[in-house]
Amino acid sequence: MATVAQGLAAVQAGRAAIAEEVTKKGVEASDNDSLQVLAEKIAQISGFVSSYWFGDASDGDVVISENTQIPVEEDLGHIFKQYNSLTINEGCTLEPSGRCAGAVFLVKGDCRIDGIINLDKKAPRRSDTTENIILTSGLSSAWLQKASAITGGKGGNGGAGRYGTGGTQVLQGGTGGTGHRFGGGFGAGGSGGLTSSASNDIATSRQGASCEPRPPATASPWPPPSSSSRSVAPLYGAGGAGVAGSVGVYPGGTGPGAAGRTENIALPNGNGDAYGGGLLMLVVGGQLIINGKITAKGGPGGSTNGNSSGNGGGGGGGIIVVLTQTPPIITGSLTVDGGSAGTYATTATPPATNGSEGTAFIAQMDTEGVVSAWS
């Protein structure tokens, strides 16, 4: 039979457990609180949950009246904002200062977008450590996990190069990057090519670089350069070099989705800008009005002037997730298009491909954090 001391200890342990759970719900509680006080704090949780899912308004009432960049560490940073209200005026753009591991905007009250929220080409290079923290234990993790099945579009493949007598031999371009939780994949590089009089030796030209796996955040140099010698292959979407026998190495374009080069033929637009579109999650507790646009498009691939080198693939479209408590009013647009492949000569086939479309998702989230489709 339990003693009085044991009974009191059990009550105290139970009170401590209740206090711990109440605190987890955002209402500060202590095991020294009386049962009556704990009951009053439990009653506060319902109101708190609404505040939790739509933010604590700590970033205040914000009006964007000029083009504004939110500072973020390139490729490694993440944006998490909690507005009381957010207004973006017509003709004004709000965007991250660089590529980042997503942006989450919580708006407790109303949100009106007459201007632009821009996440074009904002998908990051890969950083496993940063991304795992954000997805599992970061400030945004609870919200991001509600969109856990959504990924960006695939980056486009690079165009093929041609070599050998009559350009009959094909050197396939690189493979575009796979879309992921923080945006679209990067476009791949086009392969270098040789003139029809060149040797059939494939070793004298370089294949365009793939963007799968995604380039690490520490990759250096960046943007990735093309081949500098016959023995060095390009990386991370750079274009392949055209190598004319013993005459020399002619580098292709730099950057993801760059074009390959045909020997010494000029490559004025060969550099790639085929970054994937980024991730935006917008969660609004009041009225959401979008007369402007939210955009998370992939960037374009590089173009080639040579008649035997491949063009660059486009970046994959990004991710836009909009969760609202009341039906949104949308007369503007949400755009997650993939980037276009660069231009190419008709003989440089198969050509590069455009980046794939990303994902735009609009749904209801109630005060308990339950997400359901708007009917």
User: Residue 35: what pLDDT?
Assistant: 63
* Domain membership flag for residue 198: no
The pLDDT assigned to 132 comes to 92
Residue 200 has pLDDT above 90, yes or no: no
% residues pLDDT > 90 (the chain): 62
Q: What is the pLDDT of residue 370?
A: 87
Model confidence at 239: pLDDT above 80:
yes
Q: What is the mean pLDDT of residues 185-199?
A: 80
Domain assignment present for residue 304? The answer is no
Per-residue model confidence as pLDDT tens digits over 97-120: 999 999 999 999 999 999 999 999
In what side-by-side order are the strands of the sheet with 288-290?
61-64, 85-88, 111-113, 288-290, 329-330
With cut-offs at 50, 70 and 90, classify the pLDDT of residue 131.
Answer: very high
Q: Are 220 and 213 in contact (CB under 8 A)?
A: no
pLDDT digits (tens, 9 = 90+) for 315-325: 999 999 999 99
Output the pLDDT for position 347.
66
pLDDT of residue 330: 97
* Banded pLDDT at 246 (limits 50, 70, 90): low
Say yes or no to pLDDT of 95 above 70.
Answer: yes
Q: What is the mean pLDDT of residues 204-215?
A: 85
Residue of higher predicted confidence among 229 and 208? 208
The reported pLDDT for the residue numbered 305 is 86
pLDDT for residue 6:
46
The answer as to whether 313 is a domain residue is: no
How confident is the model at residue 41, as a pLDDT? 65
- Name the most confidently modeled range: 127-136, 143-152, 354-363: 354-363
Residue 26 lies in domain: 4-53
Interval 26-60: pLDDT, tens = 678 887 877 667 666 665 555 454 568 999 899 99
Out of 141-155, 202-216, 220-234, pick the least confident: 202-216
Say if residue 14's pLDDT is above 50: yes
Q: Quote the pLDDT of residue 1.
A: 46
130 in a domain, yes or no? no
Query: In this predicted model, which residue has the larger pLDDT, 91 or 12?
Result: 91
The pLDDT assigned to 193 comes to 83
> What secondary structure, in 3-state letters, does the chain show?
CCCHHHHHHHHHHHHHHHHHHHHHCCCCCCCCCCHHHHHHHHHHHHHHHHHHHCCCCCCCEEEECCCEEECCCCCCCCEEEEECEEEECCCCEEEECCCCCCEEEEECCCEEECCEEECCCCCCCECHHHHHHHHHCCCCHHHHHHHCCCCCCCCCCCCCEEECHHHCEEECCCCCCCCECCECCCCCCCCCECCCCCCCCHHHECCCCCCCCCCECCCCCCCCCCCCCCCCCCCCCCCCCEEECCCEEECCCCCCCCCCCECCCCCCCCCCCCCCCCEEEEEECCCEEECCEEECCCCCCCCCCCCCCCCCCCCCCCEEEEEECCCCEECCEEECCCCCCCCCCCCCCCCCCCCCCCEEEEEEECCCCCEECCC
Looking at the domain assignment, is residue 62 inside a domain? no
- Provide the domain count of the chain: 1
pLDDT of residue 12: 66
Which pLDDT band holds residue 20 (cuts at 50, 70, 90)? confident
Is 89 a residue whose pLDDT tops 70? yes
Decide if 25 is inside a domain.
yes
Residue 22 belongs to some domain of the structure: yes
User: How much is the pLDDT for 45?
Assistant: 58
Predicted structure pTM score: 0.85
pLDDT confidence of 262, banded at 50, 70, 90?
confident
pLDDT of residue 51: 60
Is residue 25 within 8 Å of residue 48, measured between CB atoms? yes
Is 245 within a domain? no
Mean pLDDT over each residue of the chain, to the nearest integer: 87
